[in-house]
Chain A
Amino acid sequence: MTQLDTSDAAAETLKGGPGRRRVRMTGRGVPLPLLIPALVGLAFLLLPLVALLVRAPWRSLPSQLTSTEVWQALQLSLFSATAATAVSLVLGVPLAWVLARTEFPGRGFLRALVTLPLVLPPVVGGVALLLALGRNGVVGQWLDSWFGITLPFTTTGVVVAEAFVAMPFLVISVEGTLRAADPRYEEAAQTLGASRFTAFRRVTLPLIAPGIAAGAVLAWARALGEFGATITFAGNFPGRTQTMPLAVYLALQNDPEAAIALSLVLLAVSIAVLAGLRDRWMTTS
């Protein structure tokens, strides 16, 4: 619950909604001890992005961006981030429901475990994935010998790595929304004869749809920027496992201009998607 409260408070601050109104009512400005750190914080977050724009090689940009490598990496990034989000949705929403709506011993502990990939350095996550799902891994060796499936060095491996890192964002977001949703709607549906699954499908899901959408965007954004787990688990091969962040990192070594160009593309895509989705929610909600 506490988490939800803080996120609500954060939302109000972000929106400048009630806070701004209160300021207007009393007619006093923002107190300096809050305003100055706030402005420093804003500058801290925006300055690197501005620097990227200032130093961008605008003249050579068109030729940089039309290279096949960039398109390969961009396509792969968009595809794998979307696939990772789909995987997260299919597995994460039920997981969030179980965490929010059922009672069993050790649930708090389980919840903490689910959020572990949030704090784990992604490279460590990548090593853990190798040990679990690698060709010689705990589960991976059976995948290999029974089904002939090996995940490392494949595009599927990229999706797995991204889903591992991104799914907790979705679970946390959906679980918070579920806890905020009134369970009495589901109970009412059940007293009217709906099974628990039907109630989930017909009542709960529509109710928490915005929360799911928010979680999905968070997960997608995290997956798009994933670097550490991907390069560790899936390696780096153009067109197969080299996503945009990997391309940026490797380009930085011998061609910083290309790296800046790639970063700009990633930035533009992310802003476009986030802005697009936000507008849609704003009008429908």
Chain B
Amino acid sequence: MTRSARRTRRTLQVAGAGAAALLALSACSSSDDSSSSKSDSSASASPKMSGTVTVFAAASLQESFTTLGKEFEKANPGTKVTFNFGGSDTLAASITGGAPADVFAAASPKTMAIVTDKKDAVGTPATFVRNQLEIATLPGNPDKVTSLKDLTKSSLKVVLCDKTVPCGAAAQKALTASKLKLTPVSYEADVKSALTKVELKEADAAVVYKTDVHAAGSKVQGVEFPESANAINDYPIVLLKNAPNAVAAKAFIALVQSAEGQKVLSAAGFLKP
């Protein structure tokens, strides 16, 4: 018995130490993912642009920026564009925290200000597109949602973006402007998570961007609402101060602002600046 008692005590000690270690680990297992941002400045020997451009961009820019990235790589052989898409506030926090990035494209001037206030940007951010909110409902709109007011029905499960994210702030602005009180089932950490909840049919509706509804195709149905005109988001883009590849980064920003870039963005549902 003494042997087994000793053994169990030992097991307990392992468990205790293990638990403490686990706790420390799991508390920070967030989705903050800036690992793919190793840029290559050593290849600057070649005469033209080369190396990797790392772009931190709002989640809502995912589709159009991925397309633009491919175009950029095709037009400038030897370059590579890597993206880190996420909630603008998360991205801003990682940039001010020292994440190596060349370009930041945010979904609101407020989240951009986090970066410019810390003097991590070069020059003044330029607005390159604007985005309007839209309601995403299940395909076929089974709950017959036609207005923002319909979402306040208690039988509906609605998800919003968290107020710290631009799409959440914009939704709140639209709701406040029309004096509506909406209690969602969840405040999601970024616009794509909110949309996913509708795509998986876990929620009946979400307030997201027009561009997200567009990108989701037939998986959701969009419902426009007039109040969204009060909450249009400006999307600013800026070159970052510690950009490892500033030359190529400037060229990428130029592409986004060019007629060609604007065509891709308009096709995705963005409004002209």
What is A's interface to B at a CB cutoff of 8 Å? 7-8, 10-12, 14-15, 45, 48-49, 122-123, 130-131, 134-136, 152-153, 173, 176-177, 180-182, 207-208, 210-211, 213-215, 217-218, 220-222, 224-228, 231, 234-238, 241, 245, 248-250, 252-254, 256, 263, 266-267, 270-271, 274, 277-278, 281-282, 285
Contacts and interface: CB of A to CB of B under 8 A. Distances in A.
B189 A231 contact: yes
B27 A266 contact: yes
A184 B84 CA distance: 59
Nearest to B12: A214
Nearest to B91: A253
Given A7-B11, A136-B202, A253-B93, A270 B20 contact: yes
B130 interface: no
A42 to B, nearest CB: 12
CB-based closest 8 A-B pairs: A235-B186, A11-B10, A225-B26, A214-B15, A153-B185, A221-B19, A210-B8, A136-B201
B4 A180 contact: yes
A218 B25 CA distance: 13
12 contacts: A122-B26, A210-B11, A211-B8, A217-B16, A222-B26, A225-B23, A227-B26, A228-B31, A253-B89, A253-B90, A270-B20, A278-B12
Given A14-B17, A136-B202, A231-B193, 5 more contacts: A153-B157, A213-B12, A227-B30, A228-B29, A236-B188
Contacts of A10: 14
Contact of B29 (A48, A122, A181, A278): A122
A180 B7 contact: yes
Chain A interface SS verdict (over half): helix
B131 to A, nearest CB: 19
B29 to A, nearest CB: 5
Contact of A218 (B10, B19, B24): B19
Contacts of B24: 45, 48-49
A202 to B, nearest CB: 17
Given A221-B23, A270-B23, A135 B201 contact: yes
Contact of B20 (A176, A213, A221): A221
Nearest to B165: A253
B162 interface: yes
Given A228-B31, A245-B27, A250-B164, A274 B90 contact: no
A11 B14 contact: yes
Given A250-B164, A253-B164, A285-B8, A236 B189 contact: yes
Interface string B162-185: 101100000000000000000011
B157 to A, nearest CB: 7
A237 B27 contact: no
Given A250-B164, A253-B164, A182 B87 contact: no
B133 to A, nearest CB: 20
Chain B interface SS verdict (over half): helix
B148 to A, nearest CB: 20
A41 B184 CA distance: 45
A207 B4 CA distance: 9
A35 B32 CA distance: 34
Contacts of A48: 24
B185 A237 contact: yes
Interface in B130-178: 157, 159, 162, 164-165
B220 to A, nearest CB: 14
Given A14-B13, A227-B29, A218 B18 contact: yes
Contacts of B7: 8, 180
A40 to B, nearest CB: 16
B42 to A, nearest CB: 29
A285 B12 contact: yes
Contacts of A8: 7, 10-11
B117 to A, nearest CB: 13
Contact of A14 (B14, B87, B197): B14
A248 B187 CA distance: 14
B13 A136 contact: no
A215 B22 CA distance: 13
Nearest to A182: B4
Contacts of B19: 217-218, 220-222, 274
A238 B163 CA distance: 12
A68 B21 CA distance: 29
B187 A236 contact: yes
Contact of A274 (B20, B26, B29, B162): B20
B27 A248 contact: yes
A234 B202 CA distance: 10
A176 B7 CA distance: 11
A11 B193 CA distance: 42
